[in-house]
């Protein structure tokens, strides 16, 4: 009997491109309805989601809770997104730097300012001899799996949400290469957005 393991394994791979778009449409529908008092322009609505740190914004609340409650799967997906971004080296023509956590764009209107428009949320805290973060740095960082990021969710959430929106734009406009590296980026954008939706 022939062994078709390789062929069936290839067919079992999940293609995250289409589910990510469907998930984004759900997100888009939510913020258009949730912030219906605003102009129905995507940029205005995205900026509102990124700037609303109240209980009204369940995306922010869910993101913050998953990080603060030490949701291992969520934190792993956030770290894997950074790893995938570094491998894929995705560059949007509208941004000054490649898409990754070293150059998160918090305020889109400041995207042309190379000096102050981008924020690095990757942190390198002082680690004590016992392997723990020093007391001076402990409140400033959050450990994902191996890397540390800023503990300031008012920077981390808007930056990562903007990044996910940028990847969505790249995909919708046909600017992503459907290769393994860029597929991994879409996969982790999907995982993170799905968890907070």
- Condensed to tens digits (0 to 9), the pLDDT of residues 103-146 reads 999 999 999 999 899 999 999 999 999 989 999 999 999 999 99
142 within some domain: no
Element (H, E) at 41: none
2 within some domain: no
139 within some domain: no
Cα–Cα distance, 50 to 87 (Å, whole number)? 26
135 within some domain: no
Q: What is the radius of gyration, based on Cα positions, of the chain?
A: 18
140 within some domain: no
In this predicted model, what pLDDT tens digit does every residue of 58-94 receive, in sequence order?
999 999 999 999 999 999 999 999 999 999 999 999 9
Strands (E), the chain: 104-105, 118-119, 122-123, 141-143, 148-150
Other beta carbons within 10 angstroms of residue 133's beta carbon come to 18
Backbone angles phi, psi at 144, to 5 degrees: -85, -100
84 within some domain: yes
Cα–Cα distance, 88 to 99 (Å, whole number)? 9
131 within some domain: no
Question: Do residues 27 and 189 touch, judged by C-beta distance below 8 A?
Answer: no
Average model confidence (pLDDT) across the chain? 95
The 8-class DSSP code of residue 148 comes to E
Number of domains in the chain: 1
What pLDDT, on the 0 to 100 scale, is given for residue 11?
A: 76
Cα–Cα distance, 48 to 52 (Å, whole number)? 6
Residues whose CB falls within 8 Å of the CB of residue 127, separated by 6 or more in sequence, listed in order = 133, 134
Which residues span the domain enclosing 88? 15-117+155-196
Highest mean pLDDT among 10-14, 58-62, 174-178: 58-62
């Amino acid at each position: 009997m022939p062994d078709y393991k390789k062929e069936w394994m290839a067919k079992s791979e999940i293609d995250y491109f289409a589910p990510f778009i469907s998930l984004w449409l759900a997100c888009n529908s939510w913020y258009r309805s949730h912030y219906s008092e605003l102009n129905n322009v995507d940029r205005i609505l995205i900026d509102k989601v990124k700037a609303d740190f109240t209980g009204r914004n369940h995306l922010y609340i869910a993101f913050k809770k998953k990080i603060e409650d030490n949701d291992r799967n969520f934190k792993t997906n956030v770290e894997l997104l950074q790893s995938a971004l570094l491998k894929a080296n995705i560059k949007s023509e509208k941004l000054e730097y490649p898409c990754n956590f070293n150059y998160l764009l918090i305020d889109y209107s400041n995207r042309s300012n190379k000096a102050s428009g981008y924020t690095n949320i990757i942190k390198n805290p002082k680690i004590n001899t016992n392997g723990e973060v020093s007391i001076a740095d402990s409140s400033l960082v959050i450990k994902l799996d191996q890397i540390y990021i800023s503990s300031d969710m008012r920077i981390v959430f808007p930056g990562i949400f903007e990044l996910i929106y940028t990847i969505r734009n790249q995909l919708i406009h046909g600017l992503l290469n459907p290769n393994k590296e860029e597929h991994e980026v879409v996969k982790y954008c999907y995982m993170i957005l799905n968890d907070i939706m």
